[in-house]
Structure 1
Amino acid sequence: MDVLIVGAGLSGVGAAWHLQRRGWTYAVLEARDRLGGTWDLFRYPGVRSDSDMFTLSYPFQPWRGAKSLADGDSIRRYIEATAHAHGIDRRIRYGVKVVAAAWSWKGPHWVVETQEGGRSRTWTCSFLYVCAGYYDYARGHQPDFAGLERFGGHFVHPQSWPQDLDVAGKRVVVIGSGATAVTLVPALAETAAHVTMLQRSPTYLASQPAVDHVADVLRRLLPARFAHALIRGKNVLSSQLTYWLSRRFPEQTKRYLREGLLRLLPDPAYLDQHFTPRYQPWDQRLCVVPDGDLLRQVAAGRASVVTDEITRFAERGIELESGTFLEADVVVSATGLSLVPLGGIGLSVDGRAIDLAQTTAYRGLMLSGVPNLAFCVGYTNASWTLRADLSSRYVVRLLDHMRRRGLTTAMPAPPPRRAGRPLLGLTSTYVQRAAHLFPRQGERDPWAVTQNYLLDRARFPFLDIRKGMVFDE
């Protein structure tokens, strides 16, 4: 077929919509047993988005849910309903894991190797679009804790949460301070005897209403699509302005964030110790807490935060460097995710293996020296779908250009100089651990990735498709 899409999550379903709208034949290959991607994988208590749903949802499918910051299952059902409404679900093949893709100039085409129920199978396509994100679905990051084998309680990782785990009346320690930890703590505190968030260092938090009341008014007064576009625009402007002000005026941003937390937890010394990071705002992704839920649980005494290092595990809990001992019946290791580029697919071009770390990202969606392949990654400072939608629009525009001119291949030429910047521009530990595996980016178009949706939205439709690209008939 014309295009194979890898992954049936937010990105893959959005890509399918754009392709079928322009008459391209496609299939979606999904390794899991149902669609949803990230929102099907993560099923830990309280799992939710920290991006508002009016920008995380598709521009062509209005979000009708009650909450702007929605739970994971609601997001998965939204993706499922979108796929069904547009007939995309009929093109999805489940239980099909793509393990390798080999480009042959003799076709020219991609030969895609898959594993399906223990059997190998091959697919061919003219263009391969990898919408598998960058999380390693097989395993999350797990540090090697000393003495863990001695721990007598339950030890779990959020990525493989046991659905029968009951924390009611139990002492729980959540290790970590990122988005997963700040989501888990308030959810577990609803029933646990007490929840402690154990962190090595603090993370910036921002309280945000779970319900967008302005959006609710607009949805009552205006047609759904028009209201959705207005709310989406409002939220994009707000988030981009907030990011710009944070980077330009970091000290003022720190004060603003601190004042917001003080209204929920009026203990300056506690905030200074546990919620004042050493880095600048947006060096790492800001963690959103809906209606200040984490701070409210701490203020109520149902949760607490400890900033310390782990020395070793013991049978009944965790020993810390300060000499403190945390008793625990359940320990949750929210220590981060493992990242893998292009879903871990092994690429080759005419028998030559492609080392992704030696390639340069072309406009953040193709690879130097690799023909007829695109990949989809979202913004690090805004909703994933904003960037994913632009990428899919660009891919369809490229394919349409090739069809009109009778071209069979499009391959980004190597950049004039070795690219030195990481593709994902965050200092978060989980990003830095995997940075050496990913393509690099350059300093200017078409090799630079701009973390600015407003700029990208304005320029993407007018970018020169031919710049830095080699075409063949």
Structure 2
Amino acid sequence: MEEHLDIVVVGAGLAGITAAYRVKTMLPSKSFVILEARESIGGTWDLFKYPGIRSDSDLTTYGFPFAPWTKERQIASGAEIADYVRETVISCGLGGKIRLNHRVLTADWSSQEKRWRLTVSGNGRNVTIYANFVMWGSGYYDHWEGLNPIIPGIENFRGIVVHPQFWPEGLDYTGKQVVVIGSGATAITLLPAMSKTAAHVTMLQRSPSYVLPIPMVAAEDRILKSFLPTWISSRLIRWKYLFLPRLTMELCKYFPGLVRAGMRRLTTTFLPIHVPHDPHFKPRYNMGEQRICLAPDGDFFKCLHTPNASIVTDIIKTVTPAGIELESGNRISADIIVTATGLKIQLFGGVHVKVDGEMVTISEKYAWNGTMLQDIPNAAMMIGYTSTAWTLGADIMAQLVIKVMGAMEERGAKVVVPRLDLGMEVHPAPLLDINATYVKVAIGSVPMAGDRGPWRRRAGYYEDCWKVRFGDVTQELVFE
């Protein structure tokens, strides 16, 4: 069975749905489908089921700009976000475009035919779909395998070992001794959620993260909604959530010592007397260099005031049958170990990509404006921001790519491919703007950014908006 389409969007999570909406509204004459490998839509928010799962960005900016988040709570649960995605798909008329259980296995570009040939596993059989353009909205991590760093002796443990990405349905941790290994957003979420019913939960971290307590419902948002019409208040609230994270990042960049001192003072006021700030809340990096963990209504700090939760900063010497032995000589008893150690980064959904029969090694390619890859025709990644709301970045990249498609039509071109000017000396730089461990581990498997021209790493939402609306999007592109 064969089929030909103008555009194929891969993935029915936030990035894929965003890209599909932009295609539908900005390129109404184009035929397209959304291919989703799993049995349901929602991406991360349908896949992850661990206790307390929630957003780590405000929903005003994390949500779809074309389907504004209307609830008061800015930090939403995973189930709420999944429902929101499904409701948006229905309201935007995208349901008929989604094909579930359709996993792209290979993508082969033919310069002779000027199109992609996608081999897709769909409902128990392989089908072939030809596409003029492919928009990859499949996220930036492996949905089928988590990041599992080497934990010495973990094979000796007689209890249950769980990775948050694959949380067992019905896992009962009532009255159990739980150790959560990690210090990122997942661990910060798990500790208050699990400590409500577990006998005790210990968050074991090698190095701390910055944890920022924020109100679940901001007082100023409530005031704006009370006194202003919705069309005005919603815009003001959105501008606020667009501006404040950027302001925070700029302050972190230019005044790292001042910000660090302020965070220390704020954190100390939330901690119980028996939990010292150092070493548990003294990261090795400056604020802004990694994603900031959020604690809605200070729930993470509140649970540390109870006897059911604690935090330990140490290095694992070995896992024993009954728990964990630390380098300090201390031991932690455990019935359940949760390895909240991060995600395994993977682009293009792990698909084997070929151009004219040659396998593409994406780690050897530069990313053009953070979305298209050097020497790969008619394809783009819908990658969001890692330090601010993901959907903001995915949406503006979708608009950028559609603008490129418009430039193709103006020129009567069927092919567009980023080409690095050999006369331009470009030096490699990391594509992602955070130095988290899981990002460092993936350096050899992701594209590179450059240090000049359209190959530079994306600077931020405001710069990207300017580029899409007023910039020249044809630099370093070849149209054929």
Note whether the superposition's TM-score is higher than 0.5: yes
Please tell me whether the aligned partners of residues 379 and 451 of structure 1 are also in contact (alpha carbons under 8 angstroms). Answer: no
Distance 2:474 2:318 in 1: 57
* DSSP-derived class of the 1:197 partner: strand
Tell me which moved more, 362-371 or 292-301: 292-301
Distance 1:335 1:450 in 2: 26
Please tell me whether the aligned partners of residues 6 and 129 of structure 1 are also in contact (alpha carbons under 8 angstroms). Answer: yes
Q: After TM superposition, what 4+ stretches of structure 1 lie above 6 angstroms from structure 2?
A: none
Matched-pair identity in %: 40
Q: Deviations over 1:165-188 (max 9, x none)?
A: 111111111001111111111100
2:224 to 195, 218, 222: 218
Give the C-alpha shift of residue 455 in structure 1. 2.3
Give the C-alpha shift of residue 269 in structure 1. 6.7
1:450 to 447, 454, 458: 458
Residue 345 (structure 1) aligned with residue 359 (structure 2): no
Give the C-alpha shift of residue 212 in structure 1. 2.5
The one-letter code matched in structure 2 to 1:59 is: P
CA RMSD of aligned residues (A): 1.5
Please tell me whether the aligned partners of residues 27 and 93 of structure 1 are also in contact (alpha carbons under 8 angstroms). Answer: yes
* DSSP-derived class of the 2:342 partner: coil
Please tell me whether the aligned partners of residues 154 and 331 of structure 1 are also in contact (alpha carbons under 8 angstroms). Answer: yes
Give the C-alpha shift of residue 405 in structure 1. 3.0
The one-letter code matched in structure 2 to 1:212 is: A
Matches within 5 A, 1:55-454: 55-267=61-273, 270-415=276-421, 416-454=424-462
Tell me which moved more, 44-53 or 283-292: 283-292
Distance 1:40 1:316 in 2: 33
Distance 2:292 2:274 in 1: 20
Runs of 5+ consecutive residues of structure 2 not aligned to the other structure: none
Distance 1:56 1:419 in 2: 32
Give the C-alpha shift of residue 106 in structure 1. 2.0
TM-score (norm 2): 0.95
Distance 1:464 1:133 in 2: 27
Change (3 A) 1:226 1:112: farther
Give the C-alpha shift of residue 302 in structure 1. 2.1
Give the C-alpha shift of residue 48 in structure 1. 0.8
Distance 1:290 1:274 in 2: 19
Residue 10 (structure 1) aligned with residue 30 (structure 2): no
Change (3 A) 1:258 1:301: farther
Give the C-alpha shift of residue 266 in structure 1. 4.7
Aligned to 2:472: 464
The one-letter code matched in structure 2 to 1:434 is: A
Please tell me whether the aligned partners of residues 179 and 334 of structure 2 are also in contact (alpha carbons under 8 angstroms). Answer: yes
* DSSP-derived class of the 1:446 partner: helix
Runs of 5+ consecutive residues of structure 1 not aligned to the other structure: none
Please tell me whether the aligned partners of residues 430 and 448 of structure 2 are also in contact (alpha carbons under 8 angstroms). Answer: yes
Residue 20 (structure 1) aligned with residue 24 (structure 2): yes
Change (3 A) 1:225 1:58: farther
Distance 2:275 2:64 in 1: 43
Give the C-alpha shift of residue 150 in structure 1. 2.7
Distance 1:418 1:253 in 2: 33
* DSSP-derived class of the 1:142 partner: coil
Distance 2:275 2:193 in 1: 25
